[in-house]
Amino acid sequence: MEKKNGFTKILAIVGTILAWFPILAPIVLAFAALIIRGRFLLDYLMPAELFLFALGGAILLLWAGLRAHARWKLIAWGLGIAVFFLVGGQALAEVTGLASGEIGLTGWPWILVLASLGLFTLGLLDVGVGGVLLVRDLFRKPQLQA
């Protein structure tokens, strides 16, 4: 039985806001720095630093998606990808010595860690898009069947 009541809609809305926060915050702050300082300063590590917001949002979205029987697989896959590449990139940085500063920010280890961060961000985008689609589905008016 699908539950598309107010509680499910609130879960989906709050989850979507939390899921998008780590993606949108660095962009908004970069444009604020451009306006205030005249320089575009984008912190590409901020999505990883704000991952707990995205994790909380993804959990709320999964809960709402399971209640509504909609979009939960898309959200779960995105969360799995994000967690895998966040942990994997951090482990790679530790093993190669990038995290401790033992080696410089050059070469294949640096490229792999940046690629991992990029794939992590794509996983977060997947969760955010899943949240937007879930909210859209929850607020869609039922179609009359002929």
Kindly report, residue by residue over 6-35, the tens digit of the pLDDT. 899 999 999 999 999 999 999 999 999 999
Nearest to 64 by CA among 131, 117, 141, 115: 131
Share of the chain above pLDDT 90, in %: 75
Mean pLDDT of the chain: 91
Domain limits of the chain? 6-139
Band (105; pLDDT cuts 50, 70, 90): confident
Q: Residue 142 pLDDT more than 60?
A: yes
Among 52-61, 66-75, 100-109, whose mean pLDDT is lowest? 100-109
What's the pLDDT tens digit per position in 66-98? 999 999 999 999 999 999 999 999 999 999 888
Cα separation of 95 and 109, whole Å?
10
| This prediction's pTM | 0.87
* pLDDT for res 25: 95
Cβ pair 23, 82 in contact under 8 A: no
Share of the chain above pLDDT 70, in %: 97
Q: Residue 146 pLDDT more than 70?
A: no
CA trace torsion 126, 131, 133, 138 (10° rounding)? 160
